[in-house]
Structure 1
Amino acid sequence: MVAGAHRVFVSHLSGVAVFEPNGDQVGRVQDVVAMLRVGGRPPRVLGLVVEVVSRRRIFLPMTRVTGVDSGQVITTGVVNMRRFEQRPTETLVLGELLDRRVRLAESGEEATVLDVGIIQLPARRDWEIDKVFVRRGRGGALRRKGETLTVEWSAVTGFSLEEHGQGAENLLATFERLRPADLANVLHHLTPKRRAEVAAALDDDRLADVLEELPEDHQIEILGKLQEERAADVLEAMDPDDAADLLSELPEEEKERLLTLMQPADAADVRRLLAYEERTAGGLMTTEPIVLRPDATVADALARVRNPDLSPALAAQVYVCRPPDETPTGKYLGTVHFQRLLRDPPFTLVGSITDTDLRPLPPDTPLRAVTSHLATYNLVAVPVVDDSGSLLGAVTVDDVLDHLLPDDWRETELHHGAPGLGDVGAVIRGAG
């Protein structure tokens, strides 16, 4: 176990209350959802099954869990209330792993699974199963209970995926460590049928990341083969600007239907972006920059910047605004760059170190002017502010590059293949 890592045994999570950051209870944990992997590798923990007040069972991704302590689970406050439906690649830990008969790899002795431990990986928000608590022997009413012991996941056989065969699970496990752009390259070379199977097996966040790296025709193809509620979930997991770009390519009726199925807050962000011309600051921006009030401290800002889900461009600076803190915000006051945050004491108020010299851009600023502004002032992101002075979002340099390159640049790059993927060619060829 890595020093400082946090482990929880899943039996202790059953029935535990789940709370939003403000203290309101969401529901109680009913199970833990994991994805088994090939080669004895520890399973990845995808999320929790939570029963809410209406007795509906919903899925809470582990990326939305900020704390598992003192007999309670704390979420980010963003919860999708759609009913949980188990997918073929998912395993319910309490319902399917506990009480299973397994064997200890070293001795070949039979054992019964009593519990499993999950651990949060260091410096990440990912969790995986790392320990198995077992009882030796076959058990049974007429037999004396055997010794109990806790072993590594790899020390037990009986519930890992087999190496032979190639379902979507094995293909996903093969490419699990690829960056989204490289996994997009893999999907590009699969047949449409296989591409749909792999996309259906990916979890929402992973599929959202991969879709953002695919050409538009593949995006539309994959989205069209998902059930509409699943498609809405994936759109929610995408960056709002990327979701808006994808939806803008769909027929109006289909676009509106998917927006209606999305969570209202997510749909509102996307609708705002769809209202702007594509090649303007408003059409390019993301609606989720880091926003802080002037009385926040440098320590608060650095904590927000450390969020691993942020792109480097978005994490490069924070935007200081009057409340409300969500876009569109109150009056935009200025920007604090990451380097300035590193130079000032943690207790310094961001309002006292705000850079007010660089002007923000109005949402109707054309792409050429946005590009010139970033280049002139050596910026990686620029705020977008409306006529009333409210921050609407931020345009990052990667969004600008997407629109400066030829329309088919993604397809061209995918056709030639990404560096370092030669070793997976055999798997790609066998995956059709």
Structure 2
Amino acid sequence: MTYAPLLEWIDTQQDNMLSEVLALSEINSGSANIPGIEKVIDRLSDFASSLGAEEERLELPPRTDVLDNGEVVESESGPLLRLTKWPNANRRILLVGHSDTVYPKDHSFQHCTKLDENTINGPGVADMKGGIVVMLTALQALERSPYAGNIGWQVIINPDEEIGSFASAQHLDQAARAADVGMIFEPALADGTLAGARKGSGNFTLVAHGRAAHAGREHHLGRNAIAALARVISLLDGLNGQMDGVTINVAKLTGGGPNNVVPDFALCRFNIRVPSPEGQSWAEKQLQQIIDDVSQADGISLELHGSFGRQPKVMDKAHQQLFSLLKSCGDDLGLSTEAKATGGCCDGNNLAAAGLANIDTLGVRGGAIHSTDEFLLIDSLSERAKLSALLLFKLAAGEASWPDRTTTA
């Protein structure tokens, strides 16, 4: 079966795709910039209007943050955009992107620059405003095809992926459990390599409370919170290398005050990456044991905040089946679709945790994401849109077998 005539339309959209990416990337949408996220959603709504999908803008619950002084506060999130088409179809696909970037509204990196004929530098051009444009263009190609209506699809554009998707996690989970295949449009590497297995990730904040005292007159009455937290940090760092693939990174330490006061407060932030559920269980047990041991010191109390917001994504049978199907699409287009494991994580972890096989780097080819050197390779816009569209065509036409659904609790 040939899909070439259907894919040729995407080539005619290359200039339009690039213009859309540039416009989206010039709108700052750092995770905390809710007005900016709303502007991105408005523009995406216009770009997607030809799809004829049901559109919903969902308000998300506030997330809990721990400030550097230990205060626990609630922070608002931007809206989630959800598009739904053909909901009564027997087979359903979930397509996911995110509207937020890592660049806050006061960051110096706000504009796009053309570096050469095939390279654009700009905030979010790869991660993932370019990816969202690829996604919506692939869906436009599907809806123009004879296979429109053969499969139902839902798009979720969440506003908080870069900060862990905590507010949107419930919507991702529900949508994943109702779908048969997941497609996420994080950027591929510059050479087209995709992400396969992904480590799980937990972000934690540990607050230590002690007892203040004069460092000279009554040092013996004080209980040093920084010293207690230093013991925790040393023990945490010592876990590195004890279990294959598990890493602990202590990222920030704050607390204390004048040199003549025994500090009664200290706080540290750390990240744990795990390659498997077994690794996560081991890390959680070790962390709790360390906290219990240090908390036994007289006058010291420890408060742990945070969790494993991203579960490990393992390349099980269903994921292998889906990647094999993508490889057949890549072969038809003359594209490499090699995948390799990564320590990074994304919403692909969330979908896999809900039992949904997914490919999570279907976006543009690019690199240097999360930095002022972030770039997009322009020719990958139509290239990657054709890859996703062909995957959709094959599934909708009944040419390809759907991956087995993983059973979850």
TM-score if structure 2 supplies the norm length?
0.21
TM-score if structure 1 supplies the norm length?
0.21
Higher relative contact order (CA 8 A, sep 6+): 2
